[in-house]
Structure 1
Amino acid sequence: MHLLKSPWKMAIGLIPPLLIYLIFSIIPILISIYYSFMSWDGFSEMQFIGFENYVEAFKDSTFWRSVKNNILVVLASVIGQISIGLTLALLLNQKLKGGKFFRTIGFLPVVISTVVISITWRMIYNSEDGMLNNFLEILQLDFLAQNWLGNPDTAMYAILITVIWQFIGLYFIIFLSALQTVPKEILEAAVLDGASELQKTFFVTIPAIKNVILVSIVLCISGSLKTFDLIYVMTNGGPAHSTEVMATYMYSETFSGLNYGYGSTISVLILVFSLILVMITTKIIRIRQD
């Protein structure tokens, strides 16, 4: 009897989280798909227009610019956050003085509000009295000083540096936790075989946490595709849409442009691109594992 009741208890226990997921994830997605086939300003009556919003999106140069910027964010995040986080984890996995202090400092940006981080970095990039331009002047490199967030040629790169910095600590902690699970016997055997520190790192330690690294890459990609608040506070997608990503463009079209149908279309395309990118990454990971 106990065995028969157990599955029912598990099923009943799953109902609340499933309802929450349904209400806050699945239903909004279905509503967005429905709106994407409509022309609606949020006030007047909806008009069914079929795939016109999708056709407009594929012809929209600003939309494709936002896609390009999103890809840049993904690449910068994977290359920057994963590689720097792994390097820091390898360094602090050694018995160093003040290790706990550096771990705390490394993880601090992750727990700070994104709005606070955005305002802080906007002040650093300030063209008049920002820390970056002042530092360049101290180094006698004042000819490099400029309006970093106001220049379309440099604004996106300034954003990417902030994005990388913000989440290094997350992957640093993940990798550090994984490194501490590597069996000491394997490392000791490598030392007995005459392996140097570099050889031990690249041929023993990193392969031992390969699965954690691959999962972190998937998390990094999925998180990067949802980038919104940091860019919205720092530049609001400007100047001249140079820092626009899909999420900020969707927001501006929906709530500033009062074009709910087109905004919903962009949100659906964000979902599609995210699924495609994550599926491709997962496929590559499976091939590598085989």
Structure 2
Amino acid sequence: MHLLSRSKWPAIIGLAPAFIIYMVFAIIPILISFYYSVMQWDGFTEMQFIGLANFREALSDPIFWQALKNNLIVVGASVFGQIPIALFMALLLNRKLKGGKIFRTIGFMPVVISTVIISLVWGMMYNSRMGLFNQLLENIGLGQLAQNWLGDPEWAMFSVSITIIWQFVGLYLIIFMAALQNIPREIYEASEIDGASGWNKTFHITLPMMRDAIIVAVILCISGSLRTFDLIYVMTAGGPGHSTEVLAMYMFDQTFSSTRYGYGSALSLFIFFFSLGLVYLSTRILRKKSS
């Protein structure tokens, strides 16, 4: 006990700079947002206290609900697109596939490539006249399926979601690969002695022992999806007709384009608490299913 108490202060001193930075750039801005959210302020004139009027306005704005719906589509596409694909790829690459390191590198590359570059390249691929996808459909005799992928409200959100899935699959692939490598080999050897097949080992050993990694991936997926901004902003700018606008874009437009800092703060708090609620709910569901 004496040794632990004596070594406590070096740990506190070592953590203090990171804690101070986190407080200044994360916690304090959130607290300030609480103050701004009950104010009417354009950044220049004097603030006016208006109570919960900003929140009531948001809940009565159809564009807000459209942005929320689009965000939920992104969350669904990410959780049910990125994670299953990444998990499937991780299970394949964990079988010591020839050239596995190359596949891992290729899979992770979209994560480190600039989002602006990804948006521009995929925007050209979706181009209705000269885009890769429509040209491919024409070449294989399915020209009737060609679409104005980013210009049609019915297809724009779907097209953007495909790009988001492609960009971040590699991140969860690396997380799952690390989790797979931490599973003791002795457990598999014992199951093989008992006559377990490959599918039995996957469903009764591998996936249960990856539970914590999957939960972390879901949390990252949800929080990242609700912060989606730059990719959609470059590809569609929220159009056509707000059909791809998400909450972060709506907040950005109201805060900086319309200089409504109080209303923007209220929207940021809604995103914050909505993200916490989704993360809490998904974590409870996943832990309940695994128990």
What TM-score results when the alignment is normalised by the length of structure 1?
A: 0.95
| Local SS of the residue matching 1:35 | helix
Give 1:132's aligned residue.
Answer: 133
The one-letter code sitting in structure 2 at the alignment partner of 1:127 is S
Give 1:165's aligned residue.
Answer: 166
The yes-or-no answer on 1:81 pairing with 2:82 is yes
Structure 2 Cα separation of the partners of residues 143 and 233 of structure 1: 28
Give 1:64's aligned residue.
Answer: 65
| Local SS of the residue matching 1:154 | helix
Report which stretch shifted further, 226-235 or 177-186: 177-186
The yes-or-no answer on 1:38 pairing with 2:39 is yes
The yes-or-no answer on 1:262 pairing with 2:277 is no
Structure 1 Cα separation of the partners of residues 204 and 170 of structure 2: 24
TM-fit CA distance, 1:61: 0.8
The yes-or-no answer on 1:284 pairing with 2:285 is yes
Structure 2 Cα separation of the partners of residues 187 and 259 of structure 1: 59
Report which stretch shifted further, 217-226 or 128-137: 217-226
* Conserved? CA contact 2:40–2:49, under 8 Å: yes
| Local SS of the residue matching 1:232 | helix
Report which stretch shifted further, 250-259 or 188-197: 188-197
Gaps of 5+ in 2: none
TM-fit CA distance, 1:116: 1.0
TM-fit CA distance, 1:289: 4.4
Structure 2 Cα separation of the partners of residues 96 and 215 of structure 1: 26
| Local SS of the residue matching 2:153 | coil
TM-fit CA distance, 1:286: 3.6
The one-letter code sitting in structure 1 at the alignment partner of 2:248 is A
Give 2:11's aligned residue.
Answer: 10
| Local SS of the residue matching 1:241 | coil
Structure 1 Cα separation of the partners of residues 182 and 3 of structure 2: 37
Report which stretch shifted further, 4-13 or 45-54: 4-13
The yes-or-no answer on 1:202 pairing with 2:221 is no
The one-letter code sitting in structure 2 at the alignment partner of 1:188 is E
Structure 2 Cα separation of the partners of residues 205 and 88 of structure 1: 14
Structure 1 Cα separation of the partners of residues 17 and 94 of structure 2: 40
The yes-or-no answer on 1:238 pairing with 2:243 is no
Structure 1 Cα separation of the partners of residues 261 and 110 of structure 2: 34
* Conserved? CA contact 2:150–2:159, under 8 Å: yes
- Alpha-carbon displacement from aligned partner over 1:231-254 (angstroms, at most 9, x marks no partner): 111111111111111101000111
Give 1:180's aligned residue.
Answer: 181
- Alpha-carbon displacement from aligned partner over 1:128-168 (angstroms, at most 9, x marks no partner): 21111111111111112121111111000001101111111
- Alpha-carbon displacement from aligned partner over 1:64-90 (angstroms, at most 9, x marks no partner): 111111111111111111100000011
TM-fit CA distance, 1:200: 2.1
The CA RMSD over aligned residues, in Å, is 1.6
Structure 2 Cα separation of the partners of residues 184 and 10 of structure 1: 35
Structure 2 Cα separation of the partners of residues 276 and 91 of structure 1: 33
TM-fit CA distance, 1:9: 2.3
TM-fit CA distance, 1:5: 4.1
Give 2:29's aligned residue.
Answer: 28
The yes-or-no answer on 1:94 pairing with 2:95 is yes
Give 1:50's aligned residue.
Answer: 51
- Runs of 4+ deviating beyond 3 Å: 1-5
Report which stretch shifted further, 42-51 or 240-249: 42-51
Structure 1 Cα separation of the partners of residues 197 and 290 of structure 2: 26
What TM-score results when the alignment is normalised by the length of structure 2?
A: 0.94
Structure 1 Cα separation of the partners of residues 38 and 102 of structure 2: 53
Structure 1 Cα separation of the partners of residues 245 and 52 of structure 2: 24
Give 1:120's aligned residue.
Answer: 121
The one-letter code sitting in structure 2 at the alignment partner of 1:22 is M
| Local SS of the residue matching 2:45 | coil
Give 1:223's aligned residue.
Answer: 224
Structure 1 Cα separation of the partners of residues 6 and 197 of structure 2: 57
Structure 2 Cα separation of the partners of residues 107 and 114 of structure 1: 14
The count of aligned residue pairs is 290
